[in-house]
Structure 1
Amino acid sequence: MTEQEFDDAVSAALARFPDELARLLTNVVVVVEQEYEPEPWEDPDTELLGLYDGIPLTERAEMPWQLPDRIVVFRGPLTRHCRSRAELEDEITVTVMHEVGHFFGIEEDRLHELGWG
């Protein structure tokens, strides 16, 4: 899968959200990066598929100049994790849904119960 096709798959996953939820995705950017760089205190072999960096909607206070939250999808780990294009497309969708779930304040255990992680 080319970089553009990967980016398109991320966009397609975002397009699956119902309009009612998509309208709530404000002040958040979704980016694709090649690799996750573990923090110094993390295991150097940590390989994340995605990351939500921000303040969940459920904990947010209105501030006039709040920096955007970020959802990062990591191309390298996802492509290494999957054996076929179809599996990669599915895993991209699961990863995007999982990280957007964190934006909405859904905890890790609940996301797994829902099948998004």
Structure 2
Amino acid sequence: MPIRLSEDEFGELVDEALAGLPEQFVQYMENLSVEVQPRPTRELMKSMHIRGGGNLLGVYHGVPLTQKNVDAPIDWPERIVIFQRNIESICDNHQQVIEQIRTTVLHEVGHHFGMDEDDLEKLGYG
């Protein structure tokens, strides 16, 4: 049976996952916000050509650092969205939620740093 956490508790777990990132990465995340939403919107799912929506755990909106041009204007806002109910729906206990949040946060941060799905899969964050 899926576990359910309060919005505050889930948000704290996301914050803990972010706090565990090495400082050398955090310095490149100043203009990146991370937020929690219950589920992806229909519009987002349609734009990503995904049916259903239960398997989308997070998404990165922005231009990866590897594709930025110093002369180009900043494309605001850059953000990561973590989908609480989708993560909870695949977890059976609190520890699994913690591990899945960490994996999802690292996956989306990886996109910010220019990694693609294959890169992330090789690192265990696919």
Partner in structure 2 of residue 50 of structure 1: 58
Change (3 A) 1:110 1:22: same
Q: Per the alignment, in what secondary structure is the counterpart of residue 11 of structure 1?
A: helix
How many pairs align? 117
How many angstroms apart in 2 are the aligned matches of 1:23 and 1:41? 29
| CA drift at 1:30 | 0.5
* Paired amino acid for 1:87: Q
1:72 pairs with 2:100: no
| CA drift at 1:42 | 2.5
- Taking the TM superposition and a 5 Å limit, the aligned residue runs for 1:1-117 are 1-37=5-41, 38-39=45-46, 42-47=49-54, 48-62=56-70, 63-117=72-126
| CA drift at 1:66 | 3.3
TM-score (norm: length of structure 1): 0.92
How many angstroms apart in 2 are the aligned matches of 1:45 and 1:23? 36
Q: Confirm or deny: 8 A CA contact 2:57 2:104 kept in the other structure.
A: yes
* Paired amino acid for 1:79: E
Q: Confirm or deny: 8 A CA contact 2:37 2:81 kept in the other structure.
A: yes
Change (3 A) 1:110 1:64: closer
Over 3 Å off, 4+ runs:
63-66
| CA drift at 1:40 | 5.9
| CA drift at 1:61 | 1.6
How many angstroms apart in 2 are the aligned matches of 1:41 and 1:31? 19
Gaps of 5+ in 1: none
